[in-house]
């Protein structure tokens, strides 16, 4: 008789593709163990520290025994009020901290849990391709089916919503959008967002907008939010993250804002799965929000400078780059004759440079790779020189 396995994991885990960045980390670490001087332009994790006033506020908050207890599930009122004040200042939109804002343990947590609040087995979720992998995976965890919407250069990397069939709209529960966009760096236009809002209202679909890179852009013109557009708050929820805004990826803090019934549904899922974000981290973030302009200015300028220099160097080296001036990514065509995976593997094996293959974000990422500007400028430029040498 065949030996019975002692643990039998679920199909959803067995069929899970390896988490892209975990696999890339593994290859990078292997190269480093072999002594290669690896330049990591792969994962989007800021290389600069969290600003000092936030760290100082954290030190104080961590020492306060009142913060050693379970946090409030939905986030402290002070934190939610600070997020509402932030939205008022940035968008001019007045949201109710009690019913329209929810603290998240990083925006990934909220993005991952949202389908549990909306998706039943057999439902569709409209997902951008290429896109942040969590939208599709979390949909599948709930028995839902992602309906992929290709992002193409000729449409400025915005999905052509008119090509989503009415049948798909009728079965859909959530439309995921993400601008400024990972991985392409694209910004959405007002017309595009208005069309998304109109279609979501027509078909009763939740518009979930991932605004994790809202504060990371070059130039004066900030990206748009659905919460500032007519009808946006009636159909939509927006996911904000302090990870990139304040170089706080390790702290795990973000928030969701928008349609009260959706915020309530997500909050009810979370109440049953987690117990909220560490109150001290929330207090430190409030301190950051209070100094928003002073803290974000240098961070934004740093990436804008790196972007300008890197785009110039890549173009000089003959790379075809897409530059809409937002996020800290540069979406680039792979050299003719190389697939995304081939070029990324060649870059690591022959040049010691980690880049992310476009197909890691979905099949429509074929023919592209992503460069993250999360290393000192000199290292990025050295990385570009090495990439140029293996263009082939
Ligand atoms: C598009 C996008 N959304 C959300 C996140 C999650 O960010 P966090 O959980 O750190 O807030 C990331 C992280 O890289 C991202 O790229």
Asked whether residue 117 falls in the same domain as residue 147, the answer is yes
Distance 258 CA to ligand 1 centre (A): 18
Q: How confident is the model at residue 48 (pLDDT cuts 50, 70, 90)?
A: very high
Domain stop point among 251, 267, 292: 292
Burial-class residue 326 by CB neighbours within 10 Å (0-12, 13-18, 19+). Answer: buried
* Rounded Cα distance, 51 and 248, in Å: 9
Asked whether residue 221 falls in the same domain as residue 366, the answer is no
Instruction: Work out which ligand 1 atom sits closest to the CA atom of 244.
Output: 10
Asked whether residue 190 falls in the same domain as residue 215, the answer is yes
Task: Tell me the average pLDDT across 328-352.
Answer: 95
* Rounded Cα distance, 157 and 145, in Å: 22
In a domain, 43, yes or no: yes
Q: 270-289 pLDDT, tens per residue?
A: 999 999 999 999 999 999 99
Asked whether residue 245 falls in the same domain as residue 353, the answer is no
Q: Is 243 in the pocket of ligand 1 (CB under 6 A)?
A: yes
Asked whether residue 142 falls in the same domain as residue 75, the answer is yes
In a domain, 133, yes or no: yes
Domain stop point among 269, 292, 315: 292
In a domain, 385, yes or no: yes
Q: Which of 241, 242, 246, 331 to mutate to test the pocket of ligand 1 (most atoms within 8 A of CB)?
A: 241
Asked whether residue 201 falls in the same domain as residue 239, the answer is yes
Q: How confident is the model at residue 180 (pLDDT cuts 50, 70, 90)?
A: very high
The total of other beta-carbon atoms located within 10 Å of residue 177's CB is 27
Task: Tell me the average pLDDT across 95-123.
Answer: 98
In a domain, 5, yes or no: no
Asked whether residue 92 falls in the same domain as residue 131, the answer is yes
Q: For residue 248, give the CATH number of its domain.
A: 3.40.640.10
Instruction: Work out which ligand 1 atom sits closest to the CA atom of 243.
Output: 10
| Residue 4: per-residue pLDDT | 77
Range of the domain at 243: 52-292
Task: Please answer whether residues 245 and 302 qualify as being in contact, where contact means their C-beta atoms are separated by less than 8 angstroms.
Answer: no
Asked whether residue 59 falls in the same domain as residue 129, the answer is yes
Which residues is 236 bridged to in the sheet? 207
Q: Is the pLDDT of residue 21 over 90?
A: no
How far from the centroid of its chain's Cα atoms is residue 172's Cα? 22
Domain stop point among 240, 272, 292: 292
* Rounded Cα distance, 62 and 175, in Å: 38
In a domain, 214, yes or no: yes
Q: Is 182 in the pocket of ligand 1 (CB under 6 A)?
A: yes
In a domain, 136, yes or no: yes
Q: How confident is the model at residue 1 (pLDDT cuts 50, 70, 90)?
A: low
Asked whether residue 65 falls in the same domain as residue 43, the answer is no
First CA to last CA across the chain, in angstroms?
55
Distance 108 CA to ligand 1 centre (A): 5
Asked whether residue 340 falls in the same domain as residue 219, the answer is no
Q: For residue 331, give the CATH number of its domain.
A: 3.90.1150.10
* Rounded Cα distance, 365 and 354, in Å: 17
Asked whether residue 116 falls in the same domain as residue 264, the answer is yes
Q: Is the pLDDT of residue 157 over 70?
A: yes
Average pLDDT, the chain: 96
The total of other beta-carbon atoms located within 10 Å of residue 321's CB is 19
Please report, rounded to a whole number, the percentage of residues in the chain having pLDDT higher than 90: 93
Instruction: Work out which ligand 1 atom sits closest to the CA atom of 108.
Output: 9
| Residue 85: per-residue pLDDT | 98
Of all protein residues, whose CA lies closest to atom 14 belonging to ligand 1? 44
| Residue 25: per-residue pLDDT | 82
CA angle 23, 143, 160 (to 5 degrees): 75
Q: Is the pLDDT of residue 207 over 90?
A: yes
In a domain, 379, yes or no: yes
Q: What is the number of structural domains in the chain? A: 2
Q: Is 238 in the pocket of ligand 1 (CB under 6 A)?
A: no
Query: Of 8-22, 58-72, 128-142, 161-175, which range is least confident?
Result: 8-22
In a domain, 276, yes or no: yes
* Rounded Cα distance, 38 and 40, in Å: 6
| Residue 201: per-residue pLDDT | 98
| Residue 19: per-residue pLDDT | 66
Asked whether residue 110 falls in the same domain as residue 215, the answer is yes
Query: Of 20-34, 244-258, 296-310, 336-350, which range is least confident?
Result: 20-34
């Amino acid at each position: 008789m065949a030996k019975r396995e002692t643990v039998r994991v679920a199909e959803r885990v067995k069929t899970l593709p390896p988490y892209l960045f975990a696999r890339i980390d593994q290859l990078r670490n292997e190269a480093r163990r072999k002594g290669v001087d690896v330049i990591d332009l792969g994962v989007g994790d800021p290389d600069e520290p969290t600003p000092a006033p936030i760290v100082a506020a954290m030190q104080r908050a961590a020492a306060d025994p009142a913060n050693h207890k379970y946090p409030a599930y939905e986030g402290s009122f002070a934190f939610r009020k600070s997020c509402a004040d932030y939205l008022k200042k940035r968008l001019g939109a007045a949201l109710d901290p009690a019913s329209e804002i929810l603290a998240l343990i990083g925006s990934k947590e909220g993005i991952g849990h949202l389908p549990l609040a909306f998706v039943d087995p057999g439902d569709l979720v409209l997902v951008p391709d290429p896109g942040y992998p969590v939208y599709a995976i979390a949909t599948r965890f709930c028995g839902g089916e992602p309906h992929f919407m290709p992002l193409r250069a000729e449409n400025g990397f915005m999905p052509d919503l008119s090509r989503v069939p009415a049948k798909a709209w009728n079965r859909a529960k959530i439309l995921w959008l993400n601008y400024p966009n990972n991985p392409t760096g694209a910004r959405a236009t007002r017309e595009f967002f208005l069309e998304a809002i109109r279609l979501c209202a027509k078909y009763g679909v939740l518009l979930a907008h991932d605004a994790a890179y809202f504060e990371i852009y070059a130039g004066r013109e900030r990206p748009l939010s659905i919460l500032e557009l007519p009808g946006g708050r009636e159909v939509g929820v927006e996911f904000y993250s302090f990870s990139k805004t304040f170089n706080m990826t390790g702290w795990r803090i973000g928030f969701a804002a928008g349609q009260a019934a959706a915020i309530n549904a997500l909050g009810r899922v979370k109440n049953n799965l987690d117990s909220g974000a560490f109150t001290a981290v929330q207090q430190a973030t409030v301190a950051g929000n209070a100094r928003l302009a002073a803290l974000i200015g240098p961070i934004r300028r740093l990436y804008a400078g790196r972007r300008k220099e890197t785009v110039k160097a890549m173009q000089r080296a003959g790379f075809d780059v897409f530059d809409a001036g937002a996020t800290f990514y540069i979406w680039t065509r792979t050299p003719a004759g190389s697939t995304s995976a081939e070029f990324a593997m060649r870059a690591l094996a022959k040049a010691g440079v980690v880049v992310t293959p476009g197909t890691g974000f979905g099949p429509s990422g074929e023919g592209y790779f992503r460069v993250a500007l999360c290393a000192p400028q000199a290292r990025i430029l050295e990385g570009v020189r090495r990439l140029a040498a293996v263009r082939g």
